[in-house]
Structure 1
Amino acid sequence: MSGIQRNRRLGRVFDSEVQRILDFVAGGIGVRVVGAPGSGKSSVVRAVMASLEKTGVAVHFISGLRTHRTIPYSAIKGLGLDMRPGRSGVFDIADVFSSQLAMSGKHLLVVDDLHLVDNESLAVLETVRRRSDCPMVATAPETWAFSRGQLAVLNNGREAHLQLNPLHYEQVHVLIAQVLGAPPNADTTARILTKSAGNPRLIVRIAETASLSNLLVMQDNHWGMATNTLWNEHLRGTLEALLAELNVEDFTALQTMAILGTARVDVLQKVIPSDALESLERRGFLSVLDDHHRGSVAVITPPVIADYFRENEKLRDRKLLRSKIAGLLETVPQMPQRNSTPADRLSSVLAMLRQEKGGDDAISARHFHEHSADRERIRFERWEAHKSAANAAALLRIYWGAPVDFRRASRVCSETRTYDADPSDLLFVTITKAMLAINAGQGPAAAVEILQRLADDNPQLSTEAEDAITFLSASHGRVPTDAQTCLGAPDERPSGMRSLVRGLLELYRFRPSAALEAVDGEDEDDAFPHLRPFIRGFAMFAEGRIDESLVFALEWRAEARKNLDQFGVVTSSYIAAHGLLYRGHFEEVEYLMSSVFAMGRPGFVVDSLYDAMLRLAGLRHAAAVIPPALSIAAQARTEVPDVGPLPGIGKGAYELVAHNSAQPSTFDRKATNLIRRQLKTGYVLEAMMTALLCTCICPSRTVLDLLQKILRDSGVTVHDQLIGIANAVVEGDRKLLGLLLKHYEPGPDTYQVGMLLRGALKRHVIEGDAAAADAMAQASAMFADRFPSANEQLSFNSFRTTPLTDRETEVAVMAGHRSNVEIAEYLGISTRTVENHISNALRKTGATSRNGLFLLVGNSLPPR
C-alpha cells in the first residue's frame, strides 16, 4: 500500500482532530500537534494541508528528517526558495521567505517533526515568525524536551495544543476495515488493539502484515484470525524503526522486561536501573498499572514490542542476562495487598472514569488476558490431576467471564466425576453445561433436558434445577406469568438461587421495586456472586434512580478492574453504559464501552451483554460517516431474535433505528409492532426502553400510548414530567407545552426532553408543517437556554442515513435568511455549488423547504 493511501485512510480516523486544527487556523491561531511515534501526527497535518489547499490557502511545508538534522539549512532549503548566488545566510533566507508570506492571500506554515529540524533552519524560522503573523502548525513527540531554538520557533504568537491519544476500539475497527477492505470480527479488532496499544501506524502494519502472512483470513465477510498470534517477520522493520532512538541501557531494559513479562515495579527495580525505567516511561514504552493482587505492576507498551524481543533469537540466547535476573530475584519481598475505597458520589466516580480514560485500555486488556490465562492453566492442570466437581467448577467459573476454550470446557463438563460431588459444585457444573449447549446452537430445549436430568438423578437439587430451568426458559423465549412460575408467593422470603431468579424475572417484567426487594440482603452465599449486584444496579436504573445506579455500577466496575474480574467489568459496564447514555455523557460511555471491547469477546454467560453494548455503540453511529457495514454493531451476533430479556440483547431496537425509513409514519408502524412483540414475550423492561427511545426521536400517539400504559401498569412515576411534555407535543398544544417547559424541574429525563423536542421538530419539518416546526424550534431553543447540556446531539438520527457535511451544514444555516447568490458571495463559491449543497441537504434530512432545512439544522447546533 502506498503512503498516500495510508495517510488518506488515517485521515478519516482523525476527522475531528483535523477539523479542530482547521478551526484554529481559520482564527489565525497556530497549533502544536503532539503524540507518540506513529500516533498519526503527519497524517493529520497532511489532511489539514489538503483541505486548506482546496480553498486556495498557500501552504509552506517544512519536514524535519532524522538523517538531515546535522546538515545546515537542509529543512528550509526543502521549500525551494529562489535565492541569489552568494546570499544564503540566515537573514538572507529569512528575507526571501518573509516576502513570500507577505504576498496577497492566506498563508500557513507547516513544520512536520520540528524536533528533527536543523539549527540553521530553526534560526530562519524564528526570524520569519518574528516578522510575520502567519499561523504555524507544528508536530513533535509528546515527551520531547525542546531546545531553546525549538522553543523560540514555537513560542511566537498564539498557539493551541492538540494531543493525539491512542485510538479506541471503534476507531481501530474502522481503520482495519479501511486498510483491509472489509471489517474485522470482534476478536481480531481486540487483538490488534491490544498488540498496538492503539498506535495507528502499528495498527496498519499489523493488519497488513498479518494479511500478507495469512494470519488473517476472510470468514463470513469479516476478517478473522487463523492462528492465535499476529506476530510475523514482516513486522520486524517497523519495530526496529520505533526503537531506533533508544540507547543501549533502555534497549537492554526492554529485553529484561520481555523476559520477566508483567512484573511488579519493585521487582523491576532490582534488575533495571531506575534511570532506564524512568526513561522508558517518559518515552511511552512502559506503563504502570495498579494490580489489586500485586500492587503496582509495569508492562511493555505497545505490547507488540514484547513479541519482537521474545521472537528474537539473540534474546533467547542471552544466558548471562537470564542468570543475572534469576540471581537478583531469589529473594523478592511480597507486596501487601491494598484496598482502595471508591468514591461514593456521582461526580467522584465520573472524575475517576475520566482519569482512567487518560490511560491505555489496550494495556489493561492485555493484563486481564495474562491473568486469566495463568489462572486457567493452573486450574486446568489441577482438574486433569483430579477430575472432581470442585476442580471443574473452579475452572468453569473463569469461563463465565473470560474468553472460553470451548473444547476444553466441553471436555471438563463431560469427564468430571460427579458421584461424590458437593451439591453446589455439581449444580454449577450442570448449569454451565446447559449454557454451553445453548451457546453451541442446540437451543433452550437441550439445556432444559440437561437440568431436568440433574433433578431426576439428584432429588436434593430438584428445587435449584427447577429455578435454573425457569431462568433459562425466561431468558431465551418468554417470561412466564406469576401463575406459571413456581417461585413461591411474592410475600414469601426466598433464599439462595430462587431469590436471584425471582429478581431477574421481576426485572424482565419491569417491576424494579419487586426486583430490588427480591435481591435485598447479602450475597456471600450466592453460587453466582455477580448476579445479585447486577439485578440491584439495573433495577435502580429501571426505577429511574439513574445517578444511584451510575455510582453503584462505576464503583463496582472500578473494584472489578482492580480484581482483574472480567465478568464483573462486563456486567457493571453494561449498567453504567445505559446510565451514561441516558444522562448524555457520551465521551465517557464511548471510552467505557471501548475498554470492554478491547478485551475481546468475553465468556459465554456475559457475551450477550457484550453484544448489547456493541449495538448501543452502533446506535450512536447509525448515521455517522462510517458506513453501516463498518459499524462495530456488525460485530454483534446476528442469529439472535428481535426481542430479548434486557435492552440491547435483542436486535430489534437497533435495526429499527439504524435501518429505518425516512417516513415518520413507517417508523411509527415498525416501532409499534416491535414494542407489542416485546410485551407479548413478557420483556416489559425492553419494551419500555424501546418506547421511550422511539418517543424521543419521533414522538407519535401510538407509541406514546404504549409507553404510558407500561409505566402506569408498573407503577413507575419518575417519568411523569417527560410524559406530560410528550403529550403536549403530540397533541400540538403549544400553550401547555410552553408552561410545562417553563416550570420544568431538572430530573432524570432532562436530556430526554431536549431529545424529544428535537425529534418533534424534525418530524414537523419532514411532514412540511412549517408553523408547527417554527413553534417547536422556539420551544427547543428555550429549553436549550435553560439546560445547555440537554442540547448535545446524539450521533444517530431517526430519519437520515447520511449526515450533512460541514459545508452543507454551513449553507443550510444561511438558507433561511439569505439567497443563493448571497451565500455564494459570502462563502466564495459558485451559485451552482450552493444549489447542489442545498439539494443534497434537503435529500439527506427529508426537509421539504429551505426554511424547514434552516429550522432543522440551525436548531441542532449547540447554543452560543
Structure 2
Amino acid sequence: MSVIHRNRRLDRVFDSEVQRILDFVGRGIGVRIIGAPGSGRTTVVRNVVANLEKTGMAIHFISGLRTHRSIPYAAIKSLGLELRPGRSGVMDMADALASQLSKPGKHVLIVDDIHLLDNESLAVLESVRRRSDCPLIVTAPDSGPISRGQLAVMNSGREALLQLDPLHFEQVHTLVTQVLGSAADADTTARILTKSGGNPRLVVRITETAALSELLIMRGGQWQMTGDTLWNDHLRGTLEALLADLAPEEVTALHTMAILGTARVDVLQKVVQPDVLEGLERRGFLSVMDDHHNGPIAAISPPVIADYFRGQKTLRDRHLLRNKIAGALEGVPQTTQGNSTTADCLSRVLASLRLEKGNDDAVTARHFHDHSAARERTRYERWQANKSATNAAALLRVYWGAPVNVMRATRVCQETSTLNGDPNDILFLAITKAFLAIYSGQGVNTAVDILKGFAEHNPEQASTAEAAVLFINASHGRVAPMPEPSAEPQQPALPGLEGLVQSLLELYRFRPDAVLSLTEKAEDDDTFPHLRPFLHGLALFAAGRIEDSLVFALDWRAEARRNLDQFGVVASSYVAALGLLYRGYFEEAEYLMSSVFAMGRPGFVVDVLYDAMLRLAGLRHATTAISPSLSIASQARSEVPDVGPLPGIGKGAHELVAAETTQPSVFDRLAVKLIKRQMRSGYILEATMTALLCTCLCPGAPVLDLLRKILRDSGVTAHDQMMAVATAVVEGDHKLLGLLLKHYELDADNYQIGMLLRGALKRHVLEGNTAAAEAMAEASSMFAARFPSTNEQLSFNTFRTTPLTEREIEVAALAGHRSNVEIAEHLGISARTVENHISNALRKTGATSRNGLFILVGNSMAAR
C-alpha cells in the first residue's frame, strides 16, 4: 500500500519476527502481535506489508486511531469500500468487504492497533471473519483488558501469537548505529538501553535527541557521551505521548516513585495505593524484581520516565510528595532473606536462564548501578573522614567489579595512610595501584614496579606480591614454558594467592586436570575472592566437561546477581558464555552477554572479560553478510594484541573469522600463523580454542595437525571422537567417516561435529569438488538425522566480497529443491527472471551447480 512506508532504522532489528509472520501467513494462519507502546508493533506490520506486496498478495489495511475511537465506522471506512447509496450499515459494509476478500488471488487482512477501533468497525470485521478464511494480522497491547468485540474478531480462525519483547544490548547497538550512521561506544549503548528499557521507539528518540542536543559527539570513530546524562527537553513530547492514557492517580504514583527511586514493594505500598501499583505493573510502567538483601523491589520502567518527572519544575508538588514520602517511611523495618544456591543439572540452569530472558535488562542494570553507587558514595565519605588502609580497601574493592571513578580511585591510592594498617589491606591497596596503572594506560612495567617496591618494603608479604607480579606478566605478555618433569618428589601445592596464580598459569598452558586438582580443594582467596571459582569453571570447560562447566557457571552467576555482585556476574558470565557458544546455544549466550553489556563497562579487573565477550558475541555476526560496522565486536577496545591469555581477550581470532577471506587455502595460512603465535606466547588454551573453531568452520590439514599436536601434548582425550571424524573429513576417507558417524556416541562435541561437516561441505563447494561435496552432504544429513538439533549451525557465509541481492538470496534458497517454475510461482515473478537470478548468483559465488548455490546460501537463511 502506498500509504505505508518502511522504517528502515528498525528493519534489521525485527527481521526474525517479520519472517515468522510471513511463514504463518504463507500457511494461512493469522497472527496476533502484542507488545508495549513503542515496542515496534506498527513497524513490524509495515515491514510485513512491504514483504507481502512483493509476492502480489492483496492487502487490506486498517489502522486504529485514538482520536477516531468514538466515531462510528471510522476505521472500516478507511478501506474505501464501494457502497450503494443508503446502504451503510454493519451488514452492508461487511458484504462489501467480504466481496473484496472473495476475489481471485491471495488476500490478507491487517488491523493495526485493534484496541483503538470503534465498535461498529469491530462488528463489521466480526461478520466478515465468519464468512472468510482470509488470514488476519492484528496488533494489540500486551496488557490491559480485551473487549468482547476485539475477541470476537481475533478468535475466529487459526491464530499464532507473537510477543515483542524489549530489545537486548546487541539489538540496541544495531539500532543506534543505524540512527547515528556509525557505532556508539559500549558505555553509550548501555546507557541508551538502560534509559529506554529496550523500547525501540525510545531507543530511537533518545539517540536522535541526544545527538541533536550535542549530548553525543563523535570521538575516535565512535559516538560517545559528553556528560553523564542523555535527558533533554526534546524528549518531553515522546514521554507525554507515552503517558497519555494514564489516570491522574497513576501519573502521581510515577512522580512519587521518581522521587523515591528504586524501592522495596512494601515501602511503595505505604505511599502509593496497591491497586495503582498493580495497574502500572500491568501496563508495563513498573518492573518488579527480587533483591537477595531486601526482598521484592520495584522501579519505574522505562527508566527515562523517572528522568522526565525529575526534570519537571513543579517544585511545590515535589515538596508535598517528599513530605508525604518522608512521613510514610519513618520506622520502616528492614528485612532479609535466606541465601541458598544449588548445582543441579544443565536443563535446570538453562530453563532458569530462558525464564530470566523475559526480564528487563535495563531495570536490572539500573539496580546494580544504584547499589554500586550507594556503596561507593558511603565508603568514599567514610574514607574522607578517616583515610586508613581499611577504609581505602573497602572503597577500592567496589572498583574491581563496578564502574571506575578513575580520579577518585587515584586520589585514594595516593592519599591513604598505611601507618599501622592491616597487612592484608595494605597488600590489597598495592595490588589495586598496579591494576589501576594498567587500566589508566601507564603500562605493565609501571604496575610491576609498584608491586616490586611493595615487596622490598614488606618482606613478610613478598611471596604474595611476587605472585601478583607473575599474574600480571603472564596475563599481559607471555607464559613461561612448562618446566620439564623431574624425578624429585612433587612439591605440595602453594597456599592462597600463590597457589591460585600457579593454577592460572596451568590453565593458560592448557593443563585443566592440574587446575581442577587444586581448585576442588582450595578455598577462595581474600584478595581475589572470585579467582578460584573462575579457574574451576574454566578448567571444567577446558577439560571438555562442558555441561559441568555450564551448571557451575550459571549457578555462580545466579548467586552473584542475587548478591548484586557485578564482579561475579561478569566473571561467571564469561565462563558460561564459552560453554553456551560451544554447545550452539546462541540465543541464550547472546542474552547472557547482553545482560552484562547493559550494565556498562565494569571495573578495571574484569574489563578485559567484558571486551572478550564483545568479541565472542560478534563471532556469529562475523560469519554473516551483514556490514562489519554493525558488529557488536566493534565496541571492544582495538588497542590490544592479537593473542591473549584466554579466548576473546586477544583480538586475533575474531579478526581472522571476520576477515574477507574467500579462499580456504588463504584462511588455512592465516589460521596457522595465528595459532603458532598463540602457542609461542604460552597461551595454549587460546590456541586450542582457535584451532577447534577454525577446524569446524573450514576444516583443513594444516590447522588440524596443530590441533592434534596440542591435544596430544596436553593429554586431553575428551575430543577423541571429534578428532577421528575431522581426520576422516580432511583426508577424504568417506567410508571411514560413515562408520565413525554411525557408531558415534553422543558427547560434548555433538554440535562441533555438525558444524565440522557443514564447514567441510561448504569448503568442497567452494573448491568445486562436486563428488566430495555430495559425499559430505550425505554424511551431514545422516548425522543430522541421528542427532537432530534445533540450534543454528555456525558456518562461513561466502558473500562478503561478492554480495548477492536480497532477491538473488531468496531464489538461491529455493533452488535446491524447487524448479524455476515453482520458484516463480512462489515469489510472484516469471520463470525467466528466476533463471537470470540463478545465473547471476552462480557467477558471483563461484558455485558450480544449483545445489551448491543452495548450500552456500543456507547459512544466511538458517536463522529464518
Same fold (TM over 0.5): yes
Do the aligned partners of residues 791 and 67 (structure 1) sit closer, same or farther apart at CA in structure 2, a change above 3 Å counting? closer
Mapped to 2, the partners of 1:863 and 1:385 lie a distance apart of 58
The 5-angstrom pairing of residues 131-142 of structure 1 reads 131-142=131-142
Could you tell me whether the CA contact under 8 Å between 2:35 and 2:141 is conserved in 1? yes
Counterpart of 2:642 in structure 1 is: 642
Does the C-alpha gap of structure 1 residues 821 and 298 become closer, same or farther in structure 2, counting only changes over 3 Å?
closer
Q: Residues 674, 839 of structure 1: CA spacing in aligned structure 2 closer, same or farther, 3 A cutoff? A: farther
Counterpart residue number, 1:596: 596
Q: CA deviation at 1:97?
A: 1.5
Q: Which amino acid aligns with 1:203?
A: V
Structure 1 CA distance for aligned equivalents of residues 293 and 817 of structure 2 = 64
- Give the Cα separation in 2 of the matches to 1:231 and 1:527: 39
The answer for the alignment partner of 1:693 in structure 2 is 693
- Ranges in structure 2 where 5+ consecutive residues have no aligned partner: none
Are 2:281 and 1:278 equivalent residues in the alignment? no
Deviation at 1:816, TM superposition (A): 5.0
- Residue 240 of structure 2 is matched in structure 1 by 240
Give the match for residue 348 of structure 1: 348
Mapping 1:485-500, distance limit 5 Å: 491-500=491-500
Aligned to 1:53: 53
Which letter does structure 1 place at the counterpart of 2:83? M
Asked if structure 2 preserves the Cα contact closer than 8 Å seen for 1:295 and 1:338, the reply is no
Q: Report the counterpart of residue 575 of structure 2 in structure 1.
A: 575
Distance (Å, rounded) in 2 between the aligned partners of 1:816 and 1:88: 52
In the alignment, residue 464 of structure 2 is paired with which amino acid? E
Letter of the structure 2 residue corresponding to residue 338 of structure 1: G
Counterpart of 1:268? 268
Superimposed CA distance per residue, residues 792-845 of structure 1 (whole angstroms, 9 cap, x where no aligned partner): 322754785688677545533554576656644564423453244324543665
Residue 784 of structure 1 contacts residue 863 of structure 1 at CA under 8 Å; is this kept in 2?
no
8 Å Cα contact 2:55/2:827 also seen in 1: no
CA distance in 1, matches of 2:799, 2:718: 29
Distance 1:382 1:678 in 2: 46
Q: Which moved more, 1:95-104 or 1:815-824?
A: 815-824
**What CA distance in whole angstroms lies between the structure 2 residues aligned with 1:801 and 1:410?**
48
CA distance in 1, matches of 2:490, 2:257: 58
5 Å matches for 1:449-488?
Answer: 449-483=449-483
Relative to 1, partners in 2 of residues 1:421 and 1:832: Cα closer, same or farther, differing over 3 Å?
Answer: farther
| Alpha-carbon separation, structure 2, partners of 1:612 and 1:802 | 30
Any idea what the Cα deviations from partners look like across 1:222-267, whole Å, max 9, x if unmatched? 1110010001111111111111111122111111111211111111
Q: What is the identity, as a one-letter code, of the residue corresponding to 1:501?
A: V
Over 3 Å counting, the alpha-carbon distance change for 1:776 and 1:716 in structure 2 is same
Bigger Cα displacement from structure 2, 330-339 vs 407-416: 330-339
Deviation at 1:435, TM superposition (A): 1.3
1:321 maps to amino acid? L
Distance 1:835 1:605 in 2: 58
Partners of 1:265 and 1:298 within 8 A in 2: yes
* CA deviation vs aligned residue, 1:53-109 (integer Å, no higher than 9, x gap): 122112111111111101111111111222222221111111111111111222111
SS where residue 270 of structure 1 aligns? coil
User: Once the 2 structures are TM-superposed, how far is the Cα of residue 318 of structure 1 from its aligned partner?
Assistant: 3.1
Aligned to 1:707: 707
Superposed CA deviations along residues 127-182 of structure 1, whole A, max 9, x for unmatched, are 11112121111111011311111111111111111100001101101111111111
- Name the residue aligned to 1:853: 853
Amino acid at match of 1:162: L
Distance in 2, Cα, partners of 1:126 & 1:790: 38
Shift of 1:296: 0.8
- Measured after TM superposition, the shift of residue 36 of structure 1 is 0.2
Output aligned runs, 1:1-40, within 5 Å. 7-40=7-40
- The amino acid across from 1:604 in the alignment is F
CA contact (8 A) 1:553 1:572 kept: yes
Question: Which stretch shifts more, 802-811 or 772-781?
Answer: 802-811
Q: Give matches, 1:32-431, under 5 Å.
A: 32-314=32-314, 317-431=317-431
Q: Which amino acid aligns with 1:9?
A: R
| Whole-angstrom distance in 2 between the partners of 1:43 and 1:858 | 27
Between the aligned partners of 1:820 and 1:37, the Cα distance in structure 2 is 43
* 1: CA distance, partners of 2:342 / 2:5: 46
- Looking at structure 2, the residues matched to 660 and 22 of structure 1 have their Cα atoms a distance apart, in angstroms, of 32
SS of the equivalent of 1:75 reads helix
Larger mean CA deviation between 795-804 and 99-108 belongs to 795-804
Q: Which residue of 1 aligns with 2:547?
A: 547
After alignment, is 62-71 or 522-531 more displaced? Answer: 522-531
Q: CA RMSD in A?
A: 2.2
Compared CA separation, residues 728 and 439, structure 1 to 2 (3 A): same
* 1:10 CA drift (Å): 1.3
Aligned to 2:619: 619
Matches within 5 A, 1:746-785: 746-785=746-785
Q: Equivalents in 2 of 1:798, 1:625: separation in Å?
A: 8
Once residues 220 and 315 of structure 2 are traced to their aligned partners in structure 1, the CA distance between those partners, rounded to angstroms, is: 39
- Partners of 1:393 and 1:481 lie apart in 2 by 35
Instruction: From the superposition, tell whether residues 553 and 452 of structure 1 become closer, same or farther in structure 2 (CA, over 3 Å).
Output: same
Identity between Structure 1 and Structure 2 (%): 71
CA pair 464-5 structure 1, distance change in 2 beyond 3 A:
farther
Distance 1:401 1:713 in 2: 36
Paired residues of 2:697 and 2:796 also in contact (CA < 8 A): no
Distance 1:149 1:315 in 2: 44
Q: Is the aligned partner of 1:433 residue 2:433?
A: yes
Within a 5 Å distance, the mapping from 1:617-696 to structure 2 comes to 617-624=617-624, 626-696=626-696
1:341 Cα offset (Å):
3.0
Equivalenced residues, count: 860
Structure 1 unmatched ranges of 5 or more:
none
Question: Following the alignment from structure 1 to structure 2, what is the Cα–Cα distance between the partners of residues 95 and 806?
Answer: 39
* TM-score calculated relative to the size of structure 2: 0.96
1:852 CA drift (Å): 2.4
TM-superposed deviation, 1:547: 0.6
Q: State the one-letter code of the partner of 1:837.
A: H
Give the equivalent residue in structure 2 for 1:505: 505
CA shift at 1:736, angstroms?
0.6
Distance 2:517 2:846 in 1: 48
Change (3 A) 1:513 1:233: same
1:735-766 deviation per Cα after TM superposition (whole angstroms, max 9, x unaligned): 11000000000001000000110111111111
Query: Structure 1 residues 680-689 or 81-90, which shifts more?
Result: 81-90
Query: Distance between the aligned counterparts of 1:545 and 1:381, measured in 2?
Result: 46
Which residue in the other structure is 1:521 paired with? 521
